């Protein structure tokens, strides 16, 4: 556990001494802010129109603002995750520092967990910063906080899964750009897999759609904690980290 | 301290290390000598548990590198050919990171960082970014990193490569001063380096062990005969190399004369002789015979020559390969 923390701390440090972390935090904050403003603006116009026409249907903040916002943000995450994971192992392989880690009394699993958890913490930081927006929502409205919390949990789980896959891809190359590009392609693919149900509902299409990370975010964005979806993400996390461990091992046998 | 038995590393196409066996005793400095691509780095990587051997065993401080790699890793300090530095870290931060990675407690860590900074003379770059350090400092930080947890065994892969002569000397002195507390294996392809720093030498070539010997024995073998390059010229007209050669052979102490190069008015000979004062006699003989002595200098004893002297079969191998190529 101590070793995991040592590695994690080192990774976080290198995120924050380079502009990477600040860039990601800033980009995420701006994009999140834009979506928030956009969706809220739409919500307010709708509300005004409804009032003017004398309709008094219930305007639910959770349903009309938080849910679409979190759905959009879950997609934004796909684009930023490659930037978080691409250097994790590729950089160590390029500069040769991987030899230091591999000849120190720490296990591969500790190294992997340390690096992955640093990535998760950074993403968690981005989410935390975005939560500022909701202060306004709670000040002027009365949304339910529980679905929001579950939505955030979903975002974190989804990111955890994609970060694990990104970590794995980073072990495959010395080149950060390649690691980033491949991770981006895989993330994108895991998103658009969902679209096949648009033209076909056969069994294979449903299986493919089921593998999409977005499909499983649906329930989280509604504020429902569906164990099936949570388990999907956790499984994906384990799969990604397991592949990373195998890849690190094969690195030794091949190189 | 280190026992290697039939250690082998095979890749898909070639064998990098082929059944190497040797032993290193506690407190020794051992030079691992061989040309580039001889398998030095591969052997060291197996000793540091970075690469698993294909077959054979190696034990460090009594622990097997494959079975008990955790125990081995605790007891070795390793400096790869390229010091494994994180460019975005400061020297002290880096040493603290490596120290804690190697399992030092918080209380020990501060003391050890202080100590290795002193020992490796890097105290003046403590707060500098590693990416901004010069080659010499990087190498020393690399060494500091290797000794931070006071390991029993130090494995240094070409610790002086890429340094300027002054830095090379400083690094060698530093390594020598470390010898008391640690058992050291250092690899190099530079013969004088072994002579200056090591007590014992292990020579490998093409993955095979060529010789293990003490440095003084190796020196005797290599320097038993002195080799001189002599250029003889004639002031007017042509020179008959055969005549010159027979004259030089008459000089007492000369054991062998080989004509290396011939032009119209001058020829170059390589003269092997027993150690002693042959040069004066040689010069006098040439001048008294009416020729000009253009040049007289010791032929450098290259590592390649030591190899040839040490191993007849290794030297013969390339020649054998050349025959079928020529027959075609």
Complex ipTM value: 0.87
Whether residue B313 is contained in a domain is answered as: no
Q: Is A95 in contact with B84 (Cβ distance < 8 A)?
A: yes
**Chain A residue numbers touching B145 (CB-CB < 8 A):** 100
Whether residue B314 is contained in a domain is answered as: no
Instruction: Clarify whether residues B150 and B275 are in a common domain.
Output: no
User: What pLDDT digit, counting tens, does each position of B159-178 carry?
Assistant: 887 788 888 888 888 888 88
* Total count of domains within chain B: 2
Instruction: Clarify whether residues B128 and B9 are in a common domain.
Output: yes
Q: What's the pLDDT score for residue B321?
A: 38
Instruction: Clarify whether residues B274 and B178 are in a common domain.
Output: no
What CATH number does the domain containing B199 carry? 3.40.50.300
Q: Is A14 in contact with B89 (Cβ distance < 8 A)?
A: yes
- Compute the C-alpha angle A99/A105/A107, nearest 5°: 80
Q: Is A3 in contact with B101 (Cβ distance < 8 A)?
A: yes
Of B37 and B320, more confident: B37
Instruction: Clarify whether residues B209 and B167 are in a common domain.
Output: yes
- Across B266-291, b (16+ Cβ under 10 Å) vs e yields bbbbebbbeeeebbebbeebbeeeeb
Instruction: Clarify whether residues B118 and B250 are in a common domain.
Output: no
Q: What is the three-class DSSP state of B91? A: helix
Residue A201 in contact with partner chain B when CB distance is under 8 A: no
Residue A18 in contact with partner chain B when CB distance is under 8 A: yes
The one-character DSSP state at B190 is -
Instruction: Clarify whether residues B252 and B210 are in a common domain.
Output: no
Instruction: Clarify whether residues B118 and B200 are in a common domain.
Output: yes
Q: How confident is the model at residue B318 (pLDDT cuts 50, 70, 90)?
A: very low
Mean pLDDT confidence for B8-12: 87
Whether residue B158 is contained in a domain is answered as: yes
Mean pLDDT confidence for B78-98: 93
Q: What's the pLDDT score for residue B44?
A: 92
Q: Is B93 in contact with A255 (Cβ distance < 8 A)?
A: no
Whether residue B35 is contained in a domain is answered as: yes
Residue A175 in contact with partner chain B when CB distance is under 8 A: no
Round the average pLDDT of chain B to a whole number and report it.
82
Q: Is A95 in contact with B50 (Cβ distance < 8 A)?
A: no
Whether residue B265 is contained in a domain is answered as: yes
Instruction: Clarify whether residues B155 and B185 are in a common domain.
Output: yes
Of B231 and B227, more confident: B231
Q: Which of B48, B52, B93 sits opposite A103 (nearest CB)?
A: B48
Q: Is A95 in contact with B101 (Cβ distance < 8 A)?
A: no
Residue A1 in contact with partner chain B when CB distance is under 8 A: no
Instruction: Clarify whether residues B256 and B201 are in a common domain.
Output: no
Count residue pairs from A and B with Cβ separation < 8 A.
Answer: 65
Q: How many CB atoms lie within 10 A of CB B173?
A: 12
Whether residue B299 is contained in a domain is answered as: yes
Whether residue B191 is contained in a domain is answered as: yes
Residue where one domain finishes, among candidates B219, B243, B272: B219
Q: Give me the domain span that covers residue B260.
A: 224-303
How close, in Å, is residue B264 to chain A by CA atoms? 55
Low-confidence residues of chain A, pLDDT below 50? none
Residue A94 in contact with partner chain B when CB distance is under 8 A: no
Of B223 and A96, more confident: A96
Residue spans per domain, chain A: 2-254
Q: What's the pLDDT score for residue B255?
A: 79
Q: Which of A13, A17, A105 sits opposite B102 (nearest CB)?
A: A105
Instruction: Clarify whether residues B197 and B293 are in a common domain.
Output: no
Q: Is A96 in contact with B80 (Cβ distance < 8 A)?
A: yes
Q: Which of A13, A105, A255 sits opposite B73 (nearest CB)?
A: A105
Instruction: Clarify whether residues B119 and B83 are in a common domain.
Output: yes
Residue B208 in contact with partner chain A when CB distance is under 8 A: no
């Amino acid at each position: 556990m101590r070793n995991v923390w040592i590695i994690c701390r080192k990774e976080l440090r290198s995120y924050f001494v380079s502009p990477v972390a600040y860039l990601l935090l800033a980009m995420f904050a701006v994009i999140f802010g834009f979506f928030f403003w956009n969706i809220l603006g739409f919500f307010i116009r709708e509300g005004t129109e409804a009032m003017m026409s004398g309709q008094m249907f219930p305007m639910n903040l959770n349903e009309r603002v938080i849910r679409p916002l979190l759905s959009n943000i879950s997609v934004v995450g796909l684009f930023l995750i490659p930037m978080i994971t691409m250097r994790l192992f590729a950089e160590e392989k390029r500069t040769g520092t991987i030899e230091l880690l591999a000849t120190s009394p720490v296990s591969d699993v500790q190294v992997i967990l340390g690096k992955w958890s640093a990535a998760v913490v950074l993403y968690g930081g981005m989410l935390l910063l975005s939560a500022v927006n909701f202060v306004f929502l709670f000040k002027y409205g009365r949304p339910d906080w529980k679905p929001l919390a579950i939505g955030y949990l979903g975002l974190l789980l989804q990111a955890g899964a994609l970060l694990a896959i990104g970590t794995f891809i980073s072990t495959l190359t010395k080149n950060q750009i390649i690691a980033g590009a491949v991770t981006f392609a895989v993330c994108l693919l895991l998103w658009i897999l969902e679209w096949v149900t648009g033209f076909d509902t056969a069994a294979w299409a449903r299986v493919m759609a089921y593998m999409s990370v977005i499909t499983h975010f649906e329930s989280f964005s509604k504020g429902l904690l569906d164990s099936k979806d949570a388990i999907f993400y956790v499984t994906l996390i384990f799969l990604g980290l397991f592949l990373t461990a195998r890849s690190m091992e094969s690195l030794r046998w091949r190189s | 301290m280190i026992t290697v038995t039939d250690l082998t590393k095979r890749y898909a196409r070639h064998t990098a290390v082929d059944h190497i066996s040797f032993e290193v005793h506690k407190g020794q400095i051992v030079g691992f000598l061989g040309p580039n691509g001889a398998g030095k780095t591969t052997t060291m990587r197996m000793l540091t548990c970075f690469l698993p051997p294909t077959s054979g065993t190696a034990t460090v401080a009594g622990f097997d590198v494959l079975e008990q790699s955790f125990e081995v890793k605790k007891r070795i300090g390793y400096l790869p050919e390229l010091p494994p530095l994180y460019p975005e870290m400061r020297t002290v931060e880096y040493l603290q990171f490596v120290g804690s990675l190697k399992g030092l407690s918080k209380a020990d860590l501060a003391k050890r960082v202080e100590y290795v900074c002193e020992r490796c003379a890097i105290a003046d770059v403590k707060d500098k970014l590693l990416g901004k350090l010069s080659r010499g400092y990087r190498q020393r930080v690399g060494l500091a990193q290797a000794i931070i947890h006071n390991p029993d065994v130090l494995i240094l892969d070409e610790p002086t490569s890429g340094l300027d002569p002054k830095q090379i000397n400083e690094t060698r002195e530093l390594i020598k001063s470390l010898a008391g507390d640690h058992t050291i294996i250092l690899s190099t392809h530079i013969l004088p380096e072994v002579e200056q720093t090591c007590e014992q030498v292990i020579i490998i070539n093409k993955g095979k062990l060529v010789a293990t010997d003490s440095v003084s024995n190796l020196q005797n073998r290599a320097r038993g005969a002195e080799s001189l390059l002599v250029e003889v010229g004639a002031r007017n007209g042509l020179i008959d190399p055969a005549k010159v050669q027979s004259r030089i052979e008459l000089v007492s102490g000369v054991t062998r004369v080989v004509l290396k190069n011939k032009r119209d008015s001058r020829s170059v000979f390589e003269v092997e002789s027993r150690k002693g004062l042959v040069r004066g006699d040689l010069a006098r003989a040439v001048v008294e015979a009416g020729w000009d002595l253009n040049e007289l200098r010791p032929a450098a004893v290259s590592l390649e020559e030591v190899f040839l002297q040490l191993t007849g079969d290794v030297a013969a191998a390339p020649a054998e390969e050349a025959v079928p190529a020529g027959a075609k």
